């Protein structure tokens, strides 16, 4: 079973949050509060590989799909993350078919890829699972979500969208994309970015693939609903640290 693809088949919209703190308590709260997924960050956050392990277990305990954003296509790091039992990866700065092939090579066990094999890891139940069964089911279980953050990625959209089932969703990295387009701070519905989003969503709908967006720079339910209306099926409601910071700021305004 592929947790992300299965959830997309059951629900029209999946809502989650990025975990920059990797705090298991925050992640448990996300699950108990009814979120669908969490993305544990290794690109911008100072999270250790041990922190990823604890965060993945907190997600599993509360039924959250666990994604991990790696900083780049590093086969060794990707292997460690997947050995810890993460349900999938988010890969930043994804731009070409070569990127896709490198990711597939790192994620999938042979013969589909070249992921290093070790039975003494959490995802293989520390050697208690049948290796043949584990290697087959892990190849089916894991999802990769490419993060599209530049105009080059959208120029190569046709070759990126015609990818295997390993890629059930594509995430528009709005903040980086706005920077690359020369409109820093613009949202995805701005005149500069909206045509790219429409192009991606149309291509995704033709291929039964979902598109994800971060609910920023606004972080409001109203903007989230606007993104749903134009066809985004996965929504990231910012980061745990920013949501907490904005809540604290709002409470701080009570001080007189």
Write the pLDDT tens digit of every residue in 215-233. 988 999 999 999 999 999 9
Q: Which residues contact 136 (CB under 8 A, 6 or more apart)?
A: none
Rg (CA), the chain: 18
Strands 210-214 and 143-148, by their bridges, are unpaired
Separation between Cα atoms, residue 162 and residue 164, nearest integer Å: 7
Q: What pLDDT, on the 0 to 100 scale, is given for residue 162?
A: 82
Q: What pLDDT, on the 0 to 100 scale, is given for residue 159?
A: 86
What is the number of alpha carbons within 13 Å of residue 250 lying toward its C-beta? 6
Burial of 183 from C-beta contacts in 10 A (0-12 / 13-18 / 19+): middle
Residue 178: pLDDT above 80?
yes
Beta partners for residue 234, in sequence order: 14, 212
Q: Please tell me the pTM assigned to this model.
A: 0.96
Report the percent of the chain where pLDDT is more than 70.
100
Please indicate whether residue 163 or residue 122 has the higher confidence score (pLDDT): 122
Average pLDDT of the residues of the chain: 95
What is the number of alpha carbons within 13 Å of residue 3 lying toward its C-beta? 19
Residues 124-159: pLDDT tens digits? 999 999 999 999 999 999 999 999 999 999 999 988
Residue 164: pLDDT above 80?
no
Separation between Cα atoms, residue 182 and residue 129, nearest integer Å: 51
DSSP string, the chain: --HHHHHHHH-S-EEEEEESS--HHHHHHHHHTT--EEEEESSSS---HHHHHHHHHHHHHTTPEEEEE-SS--HHHHHHHHHTT-SEEEESS--SHHHHHHHHHHHSPTTT--PPP-SSSGGGGGGTS-HHHHHHHHHHH-EEEEEE-SHHHHHTHHHHHS--TT--EEEE-HHHHHHHTT-TT--TTSTTTHHHHHHHHHHHHHTT-EEEEE-TTT--HHHHHHHHHHT--EEEEEEHHHHHHHHHHHHHTT--
Catalytic residue status for 218: no
State the catalytic residue, choosing from 44, 93, 134, 180.
44
What average pLDDT does range 33-48 have in this prediction? 97
């Amino acid at each position: 079973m592929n947790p992300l693809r299965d959830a997309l088949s059951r629900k029209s919209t999946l809502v989650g949050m990025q975990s920059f703190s990797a705090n298991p308590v925050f992640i448990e709260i996300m699950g108990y509060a009814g979120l669908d997924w969490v993305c544990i960050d290794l690109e911008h956050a100072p999270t250790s590989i041990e922190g990823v392990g604890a965060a993945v277990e907190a997600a599993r305990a509360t039924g959250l799909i666990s994604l991990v954003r790696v900083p780049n296509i590093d086969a060794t790091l990707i292997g460690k993350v997947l050995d810890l039992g993460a349900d999938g990866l988010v890969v930043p700065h994804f731009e070409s078919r070569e990127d896709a092939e490198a990711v597939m090579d790192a994620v999938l066990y042979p013969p589909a890829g070249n992921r290093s094999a070790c039975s003494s890891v959490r995802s293989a139940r520390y050697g208690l699972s049948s290796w043949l069964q584990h290697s087959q089911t892990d190849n089916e279980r894991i999802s990769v979500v490419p993060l599209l953050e530049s105009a080059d990625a959208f120029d190569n959209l046709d070759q990126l969208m015609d990818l295997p089932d390993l890629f059930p969703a594509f995430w528009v990295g709005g903040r980086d994309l706005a920077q690359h387009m020369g409109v820093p701070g613009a949202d995805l519905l701005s005149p500069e970015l909206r045509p790219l989003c429409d192009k991606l969503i149309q291509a995704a709908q033709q291929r039964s693939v979902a598109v994800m967006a971060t609910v920023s720079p606004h972080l409001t339910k109203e903007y989230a609903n606007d993104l749903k209306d134009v066809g985004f099926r996965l929504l990231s409601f910012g980061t745990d640290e920013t949501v907490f910071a904005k809540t604290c700021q709002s409470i701080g305004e009570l001080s007189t």
